[in-house]
A and B are shown apart, each in its own frame.
Chain A
Amino acid sequence: MWLVRPAQSDDLDQILNIAGAQGARLSSTLPRQKEALAQKIEHSLASCAGRSSGDEPPRFLFVLEDTDTGVLAGTAGIDARAGNGQPFYNYRQDALIHASHKLGISRHVDVLYPSHFLTDHTLLCSYAIKPELRGSDASELLSRARMLFIAEHRKWFTHRIVVEIQGVQTSNGEVPFWDSLGRHFFNMDFETADQYSGMLSKTFIAELMPPNPVYVTLLSQAAQDALGQPHSLTISNFKLLQREGFQTGCYLDIFDAGPVLEARTDSLRTIATSHRKTLHGTHEVSGDLCLVAAGEGAGFRCTLTGIAESVEGQLKVPVKAWKVLGKSAGDSVRAASL
């Protein structure tokens, strides 16, 4: 069975494998360096135990595990406060009208403004899954298990939630937006900058990023075309998040101009429609496939199983799934349809 649970210290090597197999973009939230990753897992465990301090807001890292083999197939994270106590950078795409009454001319001018507005919004991040599982039920489980975690621990998270989608990158690794803008100021290739943003404090972004607004019309055509466009590999996840209730707004990633999706936390489909039910057993594996989650903090588990629901609000879940969830009859669980 597929299981999503908080990452443990001994998951380190497997997570490194997953991170290494991904495209460049992921490294900003899922470091490829052993020490940095170990720290991230530590921090996640501390956050699950409610031990994270004020200047280091909670960050959570989950893994997708095949319980039959113990092999990990993906990761997903939540940063309770985007920026983690530091500024969180985006570009806001906005417009100015340049008009002259005298000359009878009015022009719509697109401008990218550096913005910190999304700082301290809850951020979904670190989403990585083995390529063969993209678009599968397991990938949906991995992404949406986070919403169930938020529903169970609502007070840890804010009212607004955002997620950055990877932007356009060509097959030979070039990022048109970066090449047209960031490269001039950071004097490094996209991958290096992206890794730094995962490893180092974000101060370097403040130091190197152009402080003034940028006129869209001065970007290369390829960069203009890439504004707000998701990477082709992220389309299935992008659509999943849109079904979940996320919408594209005016915010873009500062490195690759990928879209930033925004939503009200309480309006997310999984959070709004999931309910707590009492766990009951069944030996048949039947009924609709659902996400079922249980447990608090480090004990959080979420799996995908067929369930049957009784009129009294009892949830009949196959016993095999009980074990995966670590729960037994009479315990409270949260379910959401796939």
Chain B
Amino acid sequence: MLVIRPVQEADLEDLFAMAQSAGKGLTSLPADRDLLRRKIEQARETFEQRCAPEAGLYLFALEDTEKKKAVGISGIQGRVGLDEVFYNYRLSVTVNASKELGVHVRTPTLHLSNDMTDTSEICSLLLSDDYRGGGNGLLLSRCRFMYLGEFRKYFSEKIFAEMRGVSDEDGYSPLWDALGRKFFDMEFSQADLLSGLGNKSFIAELMPKYPIYLPMLPESARSVVSQVHENTAPALTMLQAEGFNFNGLVDIFDGGPVIEAFVHNIRTVRESVNRHTMITQKPVNLDIPASERVMISNCSFRDFRLTTIPADCVGLDTVSLPAAVAEALQIDAGDSVRLAPLKDKGPLSMYKKREAEPRF
């Protein structure tokens, strides 16, 4: 069984191996054992409520319970920009117009901004190669929205994600080469690595503060502003289906877009429902396609657990679970659980809600 749970100290080696095989481009999880250990510690403090929920780092591991192995990770940063300064460029338009001359010129312009300060960010998604497909990527990403929906008060109203921008196999980023590099004599891959190690705001302080007029940059750089890396395109599509949209901000290094959504508009949050648990003795076939599965989670802040079950387990008021699933979710009969479809247009949309039933 694959279960989502808060990350634990024992996950360190599994995480390190995953980060190593992921290579360049995963800024928020570099293959650095000390850094990963610190992140896990921070996540433990968060789940054990030893720090303010806003300052927390919520890292979730996907565990293969048979192998007792972490095979994926994803996270929520409680707030960004509280300790350090969080920078983006805002892609906006400057219009210069002269009636006298009949000239009206629109110039795309990058303005340095700290607009995402004090906003929650979803981050750090990584899935082991052996577990790709079968909805595992979706599960790893969407489990965060189940948690957000349950503990909305601890997060900002708006959630954002920074999407990886365009760079080639050798780690060259056209925007970095045309802009950042001119102010900071360093390869993109090195700058990226440094920012993953927590130096991003230091680098940002060396970057240009005045607006950058895009026509002054070469076409190669202009064309990648607000574009995602081809490997990130599926993640973008998934988050767009979830209700996220480009908010006009881009990464100051590689120009990757920032996408955001209000928590109450996130599809998983909107479509999730609560049910009471019933433990069933009937055998349930858990090995079914992703499209017929739904996510189910407990309501625990500290011991959050989430897994998937067949949609036909879900009834009007209750959900029928095999004992093994209930155990994995750390719930007993009668406990409240949260349910949401795993895939777009999933089976939960067929649920009849009580209010919608015809009256006699």
Partner-B contacts on A (CB < 8 A): 98-100, 102-103, 105, 107, 109, 111, 180-181, 184-188, 196, 200-201, 203-204, 207-215, 217-219
Contacts and interface: CB of A to CB of B under 8 A. Distances in A.
B212 interface: yes
A107 B217 CA distance: 20
Nearest to B97: A207
The A interface is mostly helix, strand or loop, or mixed, namely mixed
B202 A103 contact: yes
A185 B94 CA distance: 10
A208 B208 contact: no
Given A103-B194, A109-B183, A210-B96, 11 more contacts: A107-B184, A181-B216, A184-B107, A185-B96, A188-B103, A200-B101, A203-B98, A204-B98, A207-B98, A210-B94, A210-B213
A208 B182 contact: no
Interface residues on B, range: 20 to 34
Contacts of B202: 100, 102-103
Interface in B183-202: 183-185, 194, 199, 202
Nearest to B182: A217
18 contacts: A102-B202, A103-B194, A105-B206, A180-B216, A181-B216, A184-B213, A185-B105, A188-B103, A207-B97, A207-B98, A208-B103, A209-B96, A210-B94, A210-B96, A215-B182, A218-B179, A218-B182, A218-B216
Contacts of B217: 218
Contacts of A107: 183-185, 206
Contacts, number: 90
A210 B107 contact: yes
Nearest to A184: B215
B210 interface: yes
A102 B199 contact: yes
B357 interface: no
B211 interface: yes
Given A208-B96, A217-B182, A99 B206 contact: yes
Contact of A98 (B101, B194, B205): B205
Contact of A215 (B103, B105, B107, B210): B210
Among A103, A213, A217, the most chain B Cβ lie within 10 Å of the Cβ of: A103
Contacts of B107: 184-185, 210
A218 B181 CA distance: 11
A211 B111 CA distance: 13
User: Sorted from nearest, which 9 A-B pairs have the closest CB atoms?
Assistant: A184-B215, A207-B98, A217-B182, A204-B98, A98-B206, A208-B96, A213-B210, A218-B216, A102-B202
B203 A184 contact: no
Contacts of A209: 96
A78 B206 CA distance: 44
Contacts of A207: 96-98, 100
Contacts of B179: 218
A215 B184 contact: no
A204 B107 CA distance: 16
A99 B183 CA distance: 10
Contacts of A219: 216
A107 B182 CA distance: 10
A217 B98 CA distance: 28
A100 B100 CA distance: 46
A215 B207 CA distance: 11
B183 A98 contact: yes
A100 B205 contact: yes
Nearest to A205: B98
A209 B105 CA distance: 11
A181 B184 CA distance: 22
> Residue among B97, B107, B194, B213 with the most chain A CB within 10 A?
B213
Interface in B130-178: none
Contacts of A188: 101, 103
Interface centre among B103, B185, B215, B217 (most CB of A within 10 A): B103
Contacts of A111: 210
A11 to B, nearest CB: 29
Contact of B184 (A102, A105, A184, A208): A105
B250 to A, nearest CB: 17
